[in-house]
Chain A
Amino acid sequence: MKLKKKIPVIDQGNSHGFWGGKFGGNFVPETLKKPIEDLEILFNKLKKDKKFIAERDKYFQNWVGVPTRFIKLKNITNYIGGAQIWSKVVSDANGGAHKIYNATVHCLLAKRSGKKIICGDTGAGYAGKMLSMAAKKFGLKCKIFMGAKDIARQQPNVKAIKRNGAEVIPVYSGSQTLVDAVSECMRFWVANCDTTAMCVGSTVGPAVFVRICGWSTSQISRELKVQLINEFGSIPRKLKLYNCVGGGSSSFGFWNEFMDYDKKQVEFIGVEAGGPKKSKKHAAPLTYGSKIGILHGAAQYVNQNSDGQIEETESISAGLDYPGISPLHCFLKDTKRARYTAASDEEALRAYKLITKFEKLRPSLEPSHAFFVALKEAKKLSKDTVVVINSCGDAYKDKEILEKRLGKKYV
């Protein structure tokens, strides 16, 4: 299995949509074959269309707000005393997280295909919030599927979705989290694909959704590349990019433009959700060696039992609480381009406390996982190493969890 240079990773799948010959694909009911093929044709055409790209950039510029900040975390760098620690504050984007890029592109595609309704899944609520924002902006009716457990723990985002005029459909099946929300959303699409467009909230699902999402979030690394050159004159000789990985949309977008650099120069570190320290459950299929299986239309490493039933996950962060992982990350892992590890709930909370103590930055629980690993490793790294953490979400949505776990002063 080999990663090719000079070809975008999203376009490195084979004719059946498999990366490395085995990750991804289209394991979908017959009913979805045609709508998926239509979307593929549309996307393949539009991603080469200068007018469409200009339209995307116009909305990214004027509405999403680009570029998001690239800042040095001076206090924490001094405190840690190793590598220089920087952050790409993607939570600056309209709505407070990276999910806005994919949502915007899906709504633009839905408009072009003449669909009037768009449905989407959400875990932490960001994908749902952003899709509801974009749907409102582009005049589409919007339905958001969300696990009942997530609805209870991510209320600020649920309220935001409703304020944007979207319908929130609670999902009570299975573990009542993201995995069930995605299943229910796909089922809804099966029954309504003639009138409705579907937005998969991360780089997961049938191959075309993986590609659209990766293409959309790559805005993050396009900006970062320019910002690094502005700051350092060139891409630093030792650069390490840390990102949390749930489905894998923010991390893929954070790394994409640096794919062709030697990993000795630009290293990618993906941090999965290890779950509560005392629990055997986790959401870290890459770290803990889960087997390849099929989930939501794609072959990927996924937490499952020997019979092939998908296993329940557990994580403090709803956005990472997913048993599978993007086929793109499976591919990056097996080609050894990226390195993957996990942080526990407690470690993420510890990192959150430290960051908010030293910096004017409030990463949500998802990027707090990445902060933990980055800070731990930065200590042992040389001063000329540049560590960048993608702060891809804002902690506002986590205020109830943070208050419960850390007390009022951290909210």
Chain B
Amino acid sequence: MFNPISAAFKKARVENRPALLTYTVAGDGSKKQSLDILKSISKNADILEVGVPHNTPVADGSQIQTSAYRAIKRGIKINDIFKIVKDFKKFDKNKPVILMGYYNMIFQYGDNNFLNKCKTSGVNGLIVVDLPWPENKDFAKKCKSKSIYFIQLLSPTTTGKRLKKIIKDSHPMNYFISMLSTTGGKLKVSPQEILKNYHRIKNINPKKEIVIGFGITDKTIGKLKSADGLVVGSAICKEITRSLNSRQNPVINVGRLVRKLKNKIK
């Protein structure tokens, strides 16, 4: 299956750098502002993760929770999120977009309805935080039939045996959680340690793209450059919060932050 996510990794590899993945919450700021943020960062980010805000998240730290509650409070609905993606794709049709969220929202929409809507809106991949392997097998198959990557999460607690099984079933991209933490926690292990775990996973099947996420900021991103891709989420959400609180334009500030991140991994 052709998927622009794979093309994005290829491009980064040619440029001899990891792919930069950003995470922002759909509807954070406002619907329009969150779309404008995507537009402003698309120049420097390779893959855009768009968070589907949920009000009982079991794996998000305070920064992403703040963004999610703000978006929900402003009335964001799933259909608005699909519209944001669709509008973004009109602006930059080849930039891969991944939706990240919790399974109940998909379940209520209906698996098939949700995936059809993903397809027509231009969503290229899905991360479902609370739908682990092997429970996600059926859903991942449905994704595959729509040429949407289902991205498996791997954690420092995932055993070697389990890693092999998950990777065997996985689509071309997987997501390694750097440490035992919710999103945005302080990096409590060294970049060397993270990379050691990363390579252990990468070696299982070098063809699979593995990105690292959780706790990555402009301070730490440069030390993890040897990965296939790096995800920055909470640091961006924090910047949005800071901008809104100080009455500055989050679109400009986040655009600047992502440019800075990109420069660190060049």
Interface, chain A (partner B; CB < 8 A): 16, 25-35, 173-174, 179-180, 183, 186-187, 190-194, 291, 293-297, 304, 306-310
Chain B CB within 10 Å, residue with most, of A16, A25, A31, A34: A31
CB distance from A170 to the nearest CB of B (A): 13
Are A308 and B105 within 8 A (Cβ)?
yes
Interface, chain B (partner A; CB < 8 A): 54-61, 65, 69, 72, 77-78, 102-109, 129-133, 135, 152-159, 162, 177, 180-182, 185
Are A16 and B135 within 8 A (Cβ)?
yes
Are A293 and B159 within 8 A (Cβ)?
no
In the bound complex, CA of A191 to CA of B154 (Å)? 14
Give chain A residues whose Cβ lies under 8 Å from the Cβ of B180: 31, 190-194
Q: Can you spell out 11 A-B residue pairs with CB atoms less than 8 angstroms apart? A: A25-B135, A29-B153, A30-B132, A30-B154, A31-B156, A33-B155, A34-B155, A34-B157, A174-B69, A187-B59, A191-B180
Chain A CB within 10 Å, residue with most, of B55, B60, B61, B69: B55
In the bound complex, CA of A25 to CA of B107 (Å)? 14
CB distance from B99 to the nearest CB of A (A): 14
Which of A28, A31, A308 is close to B54, meaning CB atoms less than 8 Å apart? A308
A-B contact count (CB 8 A): 114
In the bound complex, CA of A295 to CA of B181 (Å)? 20
Known contacts A26-B135, A27-B103; decide if A33 and B59 are in contact (CB<8 Å).
Answer: no
Are B102 and A294 within 8 A (Cβ)?
yes
Are B108 and A191 within 8 A (Cβ)?
no
In the bound complex, CA of A261 to CA of B184 (Å)? 52
CB nearest to A323 among chain B residues: B56
Which of A16, A26, A193, A295 is close to B56, meaning CB atoms less than 8 Å apart? A295
Give chain A residues whose Cβ lies under 8 Å from the Cβ of B133: 30
Are B177 and A30 within 8 A (Cβ)?
yes
Are A294 and B103 within 8 A (Cβ)?
yes
Give chain A residues whose Cβ lies under 8 Å from the Cβ of B54: 308-309
CB distance from B171 to the nearest CB of A (A): 15
Which of A28, A33, A296 is close to B158, meaning CB atoms less than 8 Å apart? A33
Chain B CB within 10 Å, residue with most, of A180, A191, A304, A308: A308
Which of A16, A30, A295, A306 is close to B155, meaning CB atoms less than 8 Å apart? A30
Are B55 and A174 within 8 A (Cβ)?
yes
Which of B58, B69, B78 is close to A186, meaning CB atoms less than 8 Å apart? B58
Are A308 and B135 within 8 A (Cβ)?
no
For the complex with contacts A30-B153, A30-B155, A295-B104, 10 further pairs of A-B residues with Cβ separation under 8 Å are: A28-B132, A29-B129, A34-B159, A174-B55, A294-B130, A296-B58, A308-B54, A309-B72, A310-B56, A310-B104
Give chain A residues whose Cβ lies under 8 Å from the Cβ of B102: 294
The main secondary structure of chain B at its interface with chain A is loop
In the bound complex, CA of A186 to CA of B156 (Å)? 17
Are B185 and A26 within 8 A (Cβ)?
no
Give chain A residues whose Cβ lies under 8 Å from the Cβ of B107: 293-294, 308
In the bound complex, CA of A392 to CA of B181 (Å)? 36
Give chain A residues whose Cβ lies under 8 Å from the Cβ of B132: 26, 28-30, 33
CB nearest to A26 among chain B residues: B135
CB nearest to B154 among chain A residues: A30
Give chain A residues whose Cβ lies under 8 Å from the Cβ of B57: 183, 187
CB distance from B3 to the nearest CB of A (A): 22
Which 10 pairs, one residue from A and one from B, show the smallest C-beta to C-beta distance? A308-B108, A294-B104, A308-B105, A34-B157, A31-B155, A30-B153, A29-B59, A27-B130, A308-B104, A30-B155
Are B104 and A190 within 8 A (Cβ)?
no
In the bound complex, CA of A295 to CA of B158 (Å)? 23
Give chain A residues whose Cβ lies under 8 Å from the Cβ of B78: 307-308
In the bound complex, CA of A187 to CA of B58 (Å)? 5
Chain B CB within 10 Å, residue with most, of A183, A295, A307: A307
CB distance from B187 to the nearest CB of A (A): 12
In the bound complex, CA of A307 to CA of B108 (Å)? 6
CB nearest to B78 among chain A residues: A307
Are B58 and A297 within 8 A (Cβ)?
yes
CB distance from B170 to the nearest CB of A (A): 12
Known contacts A27-B131, A294-B103; decide if A190 and B69 are in contact (CB<8 Å).
Answer: no
CB nearest to A293 among chain B residues: B104
CB distance from A297 to the nearest CB of B (A): 7
Give chain B residues whose Cβ lies under 8 Å from the Cβ of A297: 58, 130
In the bound complex, CA of A338 to CA of B48 (Å)? 48
In the bound complex, CA of A180 to CA of B56 (Å)? 7
Are A33 and B69 within 8 A (Cβ)?
no
Give chain A residues whose Cβ lies under 8 Å from the Cβ of B154: 30
CB distance from B128 to the nearest CB of A (A): 9
Give chain A residues whose Cβ lies under 8 Å from the Cβ of B159: 34
Give chain A residues whose Cβ lies under 8 Å from the Cβ of B58: 28-29, 183, 186-187, 190, 296-297
Give chain B residues whose Cβ lies under 8 Å from the Cβ of A35: 157
CB nearest to A299 among chain B residues: B107
Known contacts A173-B65, A293-B107; decide if A309 and B55 are in contact (CB<8 Å).
Answer: yes
In the bound complex, CA of A186 to CA of B182 (Å)? 10
In the bound complex, CA of A29 to CA of B128 (Å)? 9
In the bound complex, CA of A194 to CA of B158 (Å)? 12
CB nearest to B182 among chain A residues: A187
Give chain A residues whose Cβ lies under 8 Å from the Cβ of B104: 293-295, 304, 308, 310
Chain A CB within 10 Å, residue with most, of B61, B109, B182: B182
CB distance from B54 to the nearest CB of A (A): 7
CB nearest to B101 among chain A residues: A308
In the bound complex, CA of A297 to CA of B132 (Å)? 11
CB nearest to B175 among chain A residues: A30
In the bound complex, CA of A193 to CA of B155 (Å)? 12
In the bound complex, CA of A306 to CA of B113 (Å)? 14
CB distance from B51 to the nearest CB of A (A): 14
CB distance from A324 to the nearest CB of B (A): 9
Give chain B residues whose Cβ lies under 8 Å from the Cβ of A309: 54-55, 72, 105
Are B108 and A296 within 8 A (Cβ)?
no
Give chain B residues whose Cβ lies under 8 Å from the Cβ of A34: 155, 157-159, 162
In the bound complex, CA of A278 to CA of B238 (Å)? 40
CB nearest to B179 among chain A residues: A191
In the bound complex, CA of A187 to CA of B59 (Å)? 5
In the bound complex, CA of A307 to CA of B76 (Å)? 10
